[in-house]
Amino acid sequence: MLAIVDYRAGNLTSVRNAFSALGAEALVTRSPAAVAAAERVVFPGVGAAASAMANLRELGLLEAVRASALSGRPFLGICLGMQILFEHSEEDGGVDTLGVLSGRVRRFPHAPGCKIPEIGWNQVEGMEDAGVPAGGEFYFVHSYYAEKSPDTWGVTEYAGIEFTASVRRGNLVATQFHPEKSGRIGLDFLSWFLSL
Amino acid sequence: MLTKRVIPCLDVRAGRVTKGVKFKNNVDLGDPVEMAVAYSTGGADELVFYDITASAEGRPIDIGMVEAVARAVRIPFAVGGGIATVDDMERVILAGAEKISVNSLAVRHPSIIAKGAAAFGRQCVVLGMDPVRSARCPSGYEITTRGFRDFTGMDAVEWAKRAADLGAGEIVVNSVDADGMRTGFELEITRLIAEAVDVPVVASGGAGRPEHLVEVFQKASADAAIVAGMIHSGDFTIAEIKNAMHAAGIPTRMSY
């Protein structure tokens, strides 16, 4: 069973629709037990890091999500769901996050001609082992980025910074970009995740 | 490198996509979901839907259409028209849209921008604006509302800055003078706003040929551009637009 974690961090319809298009019906759940029991877990997220952490605590999901990410079973974090797997985010004046991955999340600096948020399709390098062509373009929407770290997998450049576009440690994968909104290349990536 | 986005705009009236000139003489173009699928597989980087009669008829936006589009396409889309409250925004987002576009409502009640940004994140809140050339305002452009019918006395550049401060994550600059004319984007106001705010700026109104997009990206610092009549009519395809952008050295998403 595929579980999508619902912790009041944005719209999950697109993620569910994308898996549905691949024939994978997902359970959207707030139940820690359902997350713990799921064969694979998708951890999306849009919004701010501090409120996401607060919601996880309030719903009693924090330990279930952390345990699931560390379980060795397939786990996919998306956007904010990737960022809060790291140790710390600069967002909201600084917030400690799940610490599943070592590394920090920072705000994009102001750079000439580079608007914040970064909105749109940008090239990702380094994910050829998942069938992603070199320089394949995915859809990004974010004002904060994860610094490169030991688990960095795909990398992307914006505002003069090369940042973590995705991470992978075995079956634990996470993306800054939105595969569910990245057209055919995004569906191919989600299909690869379902094959893990 | 972040690519420049090409965004087809679909004006929806009574469940059908229509196109008029300066909001008049609307003609039927087709089914919104079918057109969304065709454009998304044809290279569109995003889509935008305006429920153009919702506000005038005082009814909420057609949520069933938003849900159907969300099931059918795998690219981001924005929805505008008929949004009056944060609850309306939430229904559109839960139906599967990435962004909500507010225009006249934000002029009347600027706090809707801040409320929407606080509730859903600023990336979900798009400010649409309809500036017209006007000697009354310092930038030379005045904000109009209600489909260009009302003049507000508000300076377009000042309004863009204020909206970005309030939490708008993106600003669509739809030139009243250029809308539907297919003679090219209004470069001056697009550039003035793109240089005045830190958030992405989407040029709108006037696209008639692929060169017009090349021009607005090269000369007006736009981050994205909206196209409508030039593709709805079949005169050009998104692929032709993107080929022209790519040939001109503009970062463009060419695999789709």
Confidence of residue B21 (pLDDT cuts 50, 70, 90): low
Q: What's the pLDDT at A72?
A: 97
Q: What's the pLDDT at B217?
A: 98
Note whether A46 contacts B121, CB cutoff 8 Å. Answer: yes
Contacts of A115 in chain B (CB under 8 A): 198-201, 223
Q: What percent of chain B has pLDDT over 90?
A: 82
Confidence of residue B242 (pLDDT cuts 50, 70, 90): very high
Q: What's the pLDDT at B60?
A: 77
Chain B nearest-CA residue for A155: B1
- Alpha-carbon span A55 to B247, nearest angstrom: 48
Question: How close is the nearest chain A Cα to the Cα of B4, in Å?
Answer: 8
Quick check: is A79 catalytic? yes
Q: What's the pLDDT at B119?
A: 86
pTM of the entire structure? 0.96
* Mean of the per-residue pLDDT values of chain A: 96
Question: How close is the nearest chain A Cα to the Cα of B18, in Å?
Answer: 25
Q: Is residue B91 part of a domain?
A: yes
Say which DSSP state A145 is in: E
Note whether B95 contacts A13, CB cutoff 8 Å. Answer: yes
Q: What's the pLDDT at B85?
A: 92
pLDDT digits (tens, 9 = 90+) for A39-84: 999 999 888 899 999 999 999 999 999 999 999 999 999 999 999 9
Q: Chain B interface, mutation test: which of A121, A124, A125, A191, most B Cβ atoms within 10 Å?
A: A121
Chain B nearest-CA residue for A156: B1
CB-facing half-sphere around the CA of B253: CA atoms within 13 A: 30
Whether residue B202 has pLDDT greater than 60: yes
- Alpha-carbon span B100 to A103, nearest angstrom: 33
Pick A183's closest partner by Cβ from B40, B67, B95. B40
pLDDT digits (tens, 9 = 90+) for B205-218: 999 999 999 999 99
Contacts of A158 in chain B (CB under 8 A): 2
Q: Is residue B252 part of a domain?
A: no
Q: Is residue B256 part of a domain?
A: no
Whether residue B58 has pLDDT greater than 80: no
Pick B1's closest partner by Cβ from A14, A123, A142. A123
Pick B255's closest partner by Cβ from A115, A137, A143. A137
Number of domains into which chain B is organized: 1
**Closest alpha carbon to A46 in B226, B163, B96:** B96
- Alpha-carbon span B43 to B40, nearest angstrom: 6
CB contact at 8 A, B45 and B75: yes
Whether residue B23 has pLDDT greater than 80: no
Note whether B123 contacts A141, CB cutoff 8 Å. Answer: yes
Number of domains into which chain A is organized: 1
Contacts of B7 in chain A (CB under 8 A): none
Q: What's the pLDDT at B22?
A: 55
Contacts of B170 in chain A (CB under 8 A): 119
- Alpha-carbon span A69 to A40, nearest angstrom: 10
Q: What's the pLDDT at B105?
A: 92
Confidence of residue B24 (pLDDT cuts 50, 70, 90): low
User: Three-class SS string for B158-227?
Assistant: HHHHHHHHHCCCEEEEECCCCCCCCCCCCHHHHHHHHHHCCCCEEEECCCCCHHHHHHHHHHCCCCEEEE
Assembly ipTM? 0.95
| CATH code, domain carrying B87 | 3.20.20.70
Whether residue A118 has pLDDT greater than 70: yes
CA-CA distances (angstroms) from residue A122 to A196, B38, B46, B67? Answer: 25, 22, 14, 27
| CATH code, domain carrying A170 | 3.40.50.880
Q: What percent of chain B has pLDDT over 70?
A: 97
Note whether A120 contacts B224, CB cutoff 8 Å. Answer: yes
Whether residue B121 has pLDDT greater than 90: no
Provide the residue range defining the domain that includes A148.
2-195
**Closest alpha carbon to B116 in B128, B130, B134, B131:** B128
Average pLDDT, integer, range A11-34: 94
- Alpha-carbon span B83 to B90, nearest angstrom: 10
Strand-pair category, B150-155 with A172-175: unpaired
CB contact at 8 A, B216 and B204: no
Whether residue B52 has pLDDT greater than 90: no
Provide the residue range defining the domain that includes B198.
5-247
- Alpha-carbon span A24 to A1, nearest angstrom: 9
Least confident range from A172-176, B53-57, B184-188: namely B53-57
Average pLDDT, integer, range A95-106: 97
Q: What's the pLDDT at B51?
A: 87
Q: In what order do the strands lie in the sheet with A104-107?
A: A95-96, A88-89, A104-107, A144-146
Confidence of residue A113 (pLDDT cuts 50, 70, 90): confident
Average pLDDT, integer, range B137-151: 92
Average pLDDT, integer, range B122-141: 96
Average pLDDT, integer, range B130-145: 96
Contacts of A26 in chain B (CB under 8 A): none
Whether residue B82 has pLDDT greater than 90: no
